[in-house]
Chain A
């Protein structure tokens, strides 16, 4: 069974870069039917998809965040990662890594447990 686990700093200073890693177990990150993604949730904005990546490195980013987002895949560690630059308090949220196992960009069917990230000096 596919499991996803987020890790990374829980406190980030304004203007710095938020970095998170998602460790995948139960499936290979190079499986051709999986897309890997990040979704965040805050009381102010609700649920918001940040972006999606395929194991080949092909990405799709939320247009509203595109200028600040970088996602990557590490096939040697079966992990994928998120970097969000120039963060502000508005980026404070619970960040979830997620996956779609149907080869679809339209939804996710697996979620990590989420990690709270706070942007504060």
Chain B
């Protein structure tokens, strides 16, 4: 199976833009959709991006997802950073047998 690698941590200032990468170790990133989940401290995860770049209703358009075949990675971009965006972010995909793979998570600090 493949792995999804995320940076351990990223940081940004309020109002700025940050991106979190999620690199697939083998197989094409474009083969299977990528999802992103946000987990605030002490809370359960919530889904902020599904199917590479789709936002569930209620998720602000400050959050966007994309994939880059050249780097075999997916990215979550958060613009107009707010202090409430401080959380752990996880990417998730699956293989052709429907086995899920989660990234190890990225801690976003809003300075």
Interface centre among A48, A106, A108, A113 (most CB of B within 10 A): A106
A63 touches B99 (CB 8 A): yes
- Residue of A whose beta carbon sits closest to that of B104: A46
B44 touches A113 (CB 8 A): yes
Given A46-B104, A46-B105, A106-B94, A111 and B44 contact (CB-CB distance below 8 Å): yes
Q: Which residues on A sit within 8 Å (CB–CB) of B35?
A: 106-107
Provide the main secondary structure of the chain A interface: loop
B32 touches A106 (CB 8 A): yes
Q: Which of A49, A63, A105, A109 contacts B50 (CB 8 A)?
A: A109
Q: Which residues on B sit within 8 Å (CB–CB) of A105?
A: 94, 98
Work out how many contacts link A and B, with CB atoms closer than 8 A.
47
Interface residue count for A (Cβ, 8 Å)?
19
Q: Is B2 an interface residue (CB 8 A)?
A: no
- Residue of A whose beta carbon sits closest to that of B32: A106
- Residue of A whose beta carbon sits closest to that of B47: A109
A114 touches B105 (CB 8 A): no
Give Cα distance in the complex from A110 to B56, angstroms: 10
Q: Is B12 an interface residue (CB 8 A)?
A: no
Beyond contacts A102-B50, A105-B94: 18 other A-B pairs, Cβ-Cβ < 8 A, are A46-B90, A46-B102, A46-B105, A47-B92, A49-B100, A62-B100, A63-B99, A96-B44, A105-B98, A106-B32, A106-B33, A106-B35, A107-B50, A108-B47, A109-B50, A109-B56, A111-B46, A112-B44
